[in-house]
Amino acid sequence: MTPSVTEASLEREVAAYAALETWALADRWRIYMRLRQEAPVFAVGNSLLVSRYDDICDVLLDHDRVRNGAPSRGVPSDVLERLTRHERAMLDDIVNWEERWLTSANGVRHADLRSLGTRVFAPRAIREMRDRIQEIVNEMLSRMAPRSTVEFISGFAYQLPLTVISEILDIPVEMRQPLHETWRGMMPARTGLAWRTQLPLGLESAHAHFMSMKRQVKSLLDFRDGAQTTEIMTNLLAARADGADEDDILVLIQILVSAGHQTTEDLLGNGVHALLTHPEQWDRLCEDPGLAPAAVEEILRYSSPSQDIERFADSQFTLRGVPVDPDQHLTLLLGSANRDSSVFRDPETFDITRDDAKAHVAFGRGPHFCLGAALSRMEGAIALEWLARRFPNLRLVDDTPRWIPSTHLLGLEALHLALGPDRGV
Ligand code: HEM
């Protein structure tokens, strides 16, 4: 049951949020505001939530005192003690896999791994993909057009980024959907705070999907070995041939596939939802589709697909007077930073013409800044531009869309839309 605002303590609200209670997830913006105002560094379970923009940026740039690591390493000791030996072994497999993620790496290892993808995802290389992305967008919109209503998430929002990242990685068509489904099965481990505290809930299934992902990316890599393929696949195959650890390569492919489509899917779904629930903003975009890149920045700020990222303390320090011990888990609330009134004017207002949106931290900050930022910006802008050009009468069919139960991700499970007439390409 939703507590009234006055009676609920901050502790209770944050606990409900961390436990994925539906009302608290829907009300996360107000909870973030309370955190920023009342307790900008706040302990929940074994994690410290950091909610203010400046503090989050400081932590992200502080490599002396803070490091990246496998998210599932943050499981509290009392939860670990409850796990059976079999459950513990499954969790270890997941931690070992996550430990190899680019987002978990530090220093030289991070720079080396990241260098395998920097050129391919650089803004200049991405600009060269514009025509192809526009072609994919319009093909997908044409496929949707004959239907009067569509489920936008499965019909478009994940298909577009999955197709684009699959072309970059040279993933055969028949391998794409299974990879997407396997990633979906790994999602319990991406629910954020709840995953670590509610274990072993969902562990068996998440573990099976982690292991299946490993097999699938290995068969992809082997399939492309010796064949002419795309630049990044060639780099990855060459790295393996030069003696790089195969698991590092497999994990890099997995993170490119998953980060390469989940978050952009959420950007598109959240964006269309925000625009249609603020019809005057949708009308502005339809009047001037050239506003699409600015709309993307505002969507990233207002409904950031990655609501939080995680770090571990490397030494002892204090943050806003709160002591932080070595190995302390930190949850950096990007979604809160992006609504911080010390940076954004009138932060709770969705306005695609605002001039301060680009200060958002939706792609993180520092050396781990999103590798796919230029790609997702371009996919988002082209998709919104052509949706507005072709379907200006777009509207929500269902005003209670289903959100993914997660503190970490903000995204829709389904979004039903009425398209209206197609104005054509
Ligand atoms: C709207 C879309 C996207 C959002 C909101 C987003 C968000 C983020 C964030 C917040 C980080 C920083 C993680 C950290 O510091 O711990 C990150 C890193 C990363 N993103 Fe994205 N991302 C998006 C799209 C993409 C795409 C399309 C790709 C595909 C290439 C991608 C690949 C990556 C990779 C590989 C990293 C790790 C970078 C590193 O650790 O050096 N992302 N992303």
pLDDT in tens, 315-330: 999 999 999 999 999 9
Q: Can you name the residues that pair with 44 across neighbouring β-strands?
A: 47
Atom of ligand 1 nearest to the CA of 261: 27
**Measured between alpha carbons, how far is residue 213 from residues 238, 251, 309, 353 in Å?**
21, 9, 22, 41
Could you tell which of 371, 404, 408 is best to mutate to test the pocket of ligand 1, judged by most ligand atoms within 8 Å of the CB? 371
The model's pTM: 0.95
Closest CA to 380 of 118, 150, 120, 157: 157
Ligand 1 atom with minimal separation from the 164 CA? 27
Is residue 111 pLDDT above 90, yes or no?
yes
Helix/strand/coil for 47: strand
Rounded to 10 deg, the angle between the 292-302 and 279-287 helix axes is: 160
pLDDT tens-digit map of 368-423 = 999 999 999 999 999 999 999 999 999 999 878 889 999 999 999 999 999 999 99
Give the C-alpha distances (Å, rounded to integers) separating 259 from 88, 138, 375: 26, 23, 11
Residue nearest to atom 30 of ligand 1 (CA): 372
Ligand 1 center to 317 CA (angstroms): 28
Using CA atoms, how far apart are residues 215 and 217, in angstroms rounded to an integer?
6
Q: Six-digit token pair at 223?
A: 């399939």
Handedness of CA 382, 177, 247, 79 (dihedral sign): positive
The predicted pLDDT at position 7 comes to 53
Q: How far does the centroid of ligand 1 lie from the alpha carbon of residue 86, in Å?
A: 32
Ligand 1 midpoint to CA 2 (Å): 34
Q: Which residues pair with 402 in a beta bridge?
A: 414
The whole-number pLDDT of residue 364 equals 98
Instruction: Identify the sign of the CA torsion 162, 101, 203, 10.
Output: negative
Q: Looking at the DSSP assignment, which residues form a beta bridge with residue 43?
A: 48
CA 251, 256, 258, 263 dihedral sign is positive
Which residue is closest in CA terms to ligand 1's atom 23? 263
Cα within 13 Å of Cα(301), Cβ side:
29
Residue with CA nearest ligand 1 atom 6: 363
Kindly report the average pLDDT of the chain as a whole number: 94
Q: How far is the CA of 348 from the centre of ligand 1 (A)?
A: 24
Per-residue pLDDT for 5 more than 80? no
Question: Ligand 1 centre from 283 Cα, in Å?
Answer: 30
Tokens representing 45 are 């379970």
Q: What is the pLDDT of residues 197-217, one digit of tens each?
A: 889 999 999 999 999 999 999
pLDDT number for residue 193:
83
* 376 alpha carbon – ligand 1 mean position (Å): 9
pLDDT at 260: 86
Say if residue 416 is exposed, middle or buried (CB neighbours under 10 Å; 0-12, 13-18, 19+): middle
Closest ligand 1 atom to 376 CA:
27
User: Would you state the structure tokens that stand for residue 376, as one six-digit string?
Assistant: 């997702």
Ligand 1 pocket residues where CB is under 6 Å = 102-103, 114, 121, 165, 255-256, 259-260, 263-264, 267, 305-306, 309, 362-364, 368, 370-372, 375-376
For residue 305, the CA-to-ligand 1 centroid distance in Å is 10
Per residue in 234-292, pLDDT tens? 999 999 999 999 999 999 999 999 988 899 999 999 999 999 999 999 999 999 999 99
Structure confidence at residue 401 (pLDDT): 84
Instruction: Look at residue 200 and give its three-state secondary structure.
Output: coil
Mutate which of 296, 370, 376, 377 for ligand 1 pocket (most atoms within 8 A of beta carbon): 370
Distance 122 CA to ligand 1 centre (A): 13
CA of 216 to the centre of ligand 1 (A): 21
For residue 368, report the distance from its CA to the centre of ligand 1, in Å: 8
Rounded mean pLDDT of 62-80? Answer: 93
The number of the ligand 1 atom at minimal distance from the alpha carbon of 104 is: 40
Q: Whose CA is nearest to atom 24 of ligand 1?
A: 372
Query: pLDDT value at position 189?
Result: 78
Residues contacting residue 223 through CB under 8 Å, at least 6 positions apart? 172
Lowest mean pLDDT among 160-164, 295-299, 402-406: 402-406
* Per-residue pLDDT at 217: 96
Identify the helix (H) or strand (E) that includes residue 363.
none
**Which of 302, 297, 246 minimizes the C-alpha distance to 270?**
302
Residue 334's pLDDT is 98
Cα separation of 66 and 201, whole Å? 29
Phi, psi of 269 (to 5 degrees): -65, -50
Section 41-61 average pLDDT: 96
Closest atom of ligand 1 relative to the 364 alpha carbon? 10
Q: Separation of 215 CA from ligand 1 center, angstroms?
A: 23
